[in-house]
Structure 1
Amino acid sequence: MSVAIENFVKAIYKNNMHDIKDTKPGNIAKKLGISNAAATDMAKKLAAKELLNYEKYQELQLTEKGTKMALNVIRKHRLWEALLFKMFDMSLHDIHREAELLEHQTSDLLAEKISEYLGHPKFDPHGDPIPNALGEITTKNTSISLSEAKEGQTYMISRLMSDDKEFFEFCAQNQIKYRNTLTVSKQFVNNKMTQILIGSNTIVLNEDFTKIIYVDEN
């Protein structure tokens, strides 16, 4: 399959897994940086290939075949992120950017070799689950967004759901890393802000950040 097709089904899968669950062609177009017309044309093309279900003005839904393709691409992407992070200690933004290129050039055989080399990891350095070779995510998600966390409780950072360079630079500068611990000292509900204590630093984060930082009770 082409890079464009793999990126399209991956975008639908990832959007469907987010809270907003908006998989209409216009939203997928925005995510991929293409026109609405191009997204609609692609949706019709993939519907003919039985990779998704298309109905005018409705959200796009992947078929079982489409979901398997998306998870296979995501598996390769996240394995590359784990390998690049381990071998070169690259930034979270850089490993994501490189994995975007490498995922499409990786055979199933190479993906399995990378997985074996890494000890079959279940999560990538962002905390995202890595599907297994059968396209299954075997881990249980118990995390909540930082915006939902309770005051006075200590949590472990379980996932950083972004691909934005500035976000990762901010996180790196403030010890906001996968598996680091933090304490929620105050939730400013009306202003949609959260004050946290991480290491020796007190930081106030707005909702743009707290909705993409996920934590588990420590």
Structure 2
Amino acid sequence: MSVAIENFVKAIYKNDKNDGKNTKPGNIAKKLGISNAAATDMAKKLAIKDLLHYEKYQPLQLTKKGEKMALNVVRKHRLWEAFLFKTFDMSLHDIHREAELLEHETSDFLANKISDHLGNPKFDPHGDPIPNAEGEITTKDHSISLSETEEGKSYTISRLMSDDKEFFEFCAQNGLRYGNLIEVVKQFSTNKMTQLKINSNTIILNKDFTSIIYVNEIN
């Protein structure tokens, strides 16, 4: 399949599963940086290939065949992120950018070799789950956004849901990294801000950040 097709089904999958956004062609077009007409045309073509269900004015839905393709691309992307992060200590933004290119040039054979080399990781450095070779996500996600946390409780960072360079630079500078421990000091409900402590430092984040940083409560 072409890069354009793989990116299209991946965008539908991520919008549906991860980003909480609907999958109408206009939203997919915005995500991919293409025109609405191009997205609609692609959707009609992929419906003929049995990769998705298309109905005018309705969200796009992947078929089982389409979801399997999307998960295969996602698996390769996240394995490359894990490999680049571990091997070269690259930034979270850089590993995402490079994985966007490498995912389309990677055979299933090489993906399995990378996974074996890394010890078959369940998550990438952003905290996103890595599908297995059968296209299954075997982990359960019980995380909540930082904006939903409670004052006085401690959490571990489980996901950083962004591809923005400045966001990742800020996270790196302030110790906001997958697996790190944080303590929620105060929730400013009126101003939608969260004060937290990490590595003995206190920082305040607004809703733009707290809505894309996910955590798990420490029991």
- Matching residue's letter, 1:176: L
Task: Tell me the secondary structure at the aligned position of residue 205 of structure 2.
Answer: strand
Residue equivalent to 1:47: 47
My pick for the range that moved more, 44-53 or 17-26, is 17-26
Task: Tell me the secondary structure at the aligned position of residue 203 of structure 2.
Answer: strand
CA distance in 2, matches of 1:93, 1:19: 18
Q: Deviations for 1:70-127, whole angstroms, at most 9, x for unmatched residues?
A: 0000000000000001110000000000000000000000000000000000000010
- Percent identity, please: 79
CA distance in 2, matches of 1:196, 1:60: 39
- Matching residue's letter, 1:9: V
**Residue 205 of structure 1, CA deviation:** 0.6
User: Is 1:98 matched with 2:98?
Assistant: yes
CA distance in 2, matches of 1:155, 1:46: 42
Residue equivalent to 2:155: 155
Task: Give TM-score, length-normalised by structure 1.
Answer: 0.99
Q: How does 1:133-212 map to 2 (within 5 A)?
A: 133-212=133-212
Instruction: Spell out structure 1 runs of 4+ moving beyond 4 A.
Output: none
**Residue 19 of structure 1, CA deviation:** 5.3
**Residue 20 of structure 1, CA deviation:** 2.9
Residue equivalent to 2:11: 11
CA distance in 1, matches of 2:18, 2:193: 21
CA distance in 2, matches of 1:13, 1:22: 10
Task: Tell me the secondary structure at the aligned position of residue 13 of structure 1.
Answer: helix
- Matching residue's letter, 1:107: S
CA distance in 2, matches of 1:32, 1:58: 18
CA distance in 1, matches of 2:19, 2:162: 14
Please list every run of 5 or more consecutive structure 1 residues that lacks an aligned counterpart in the other structure: none
RMSD of aligned Cα (Å): 0.7
**Residue 18 of structure 1, CA deviation:** 3.1
> How many residues are aligned here?
218
Residue equivalent to 2:30: 30
